[in-house]
Amino acid sequence: MKSGILNTEKKNNLIKAVNSIYTFYRDGFRGMVLGKKLWKIILIKLFVMFVILKLFFFPNFLNTKFQTDEEKGNYVLEQITRSASLNKLE
């Protein structure tokens, strides 16, 4: 019976801690003036880096060259082991 009470206390403490962390960040972001603009710039840059650049500059090479997962895996394994053996010789 005592372990159930301790377990409940731990859960309550965890909930209080998570709630206080959430309110800390919520109030901090609400009070920002310059920070909001900076966060918008950061999010736009991340969007450009991960979406736009991926679409135009990083095509899915393995899907264009190979049909099955086994072929893709063999190619990657061959490239890794070849690179490692070349480095070993140097």
Query: pLDDT tens-digit profile of 40-88?
Result: 999 999 999 888 888 888 778 888 888 999 999 999 999 888 876 666 6
What average pLDDT does range 11-23 have in this prediction? 93
- Residue 82 is predicted with a pLDDT of 83
Query: Which stretches within the chain are classed as H helix?
Result: 2-30, 34-47, 53-57, 61-65, 69-89
- Residue 3 is predicted with a pLDDT of 58
Give pTM, 2 decimals: 0.45
Closest CA to 48 of 37, 36, 56, 38: 56
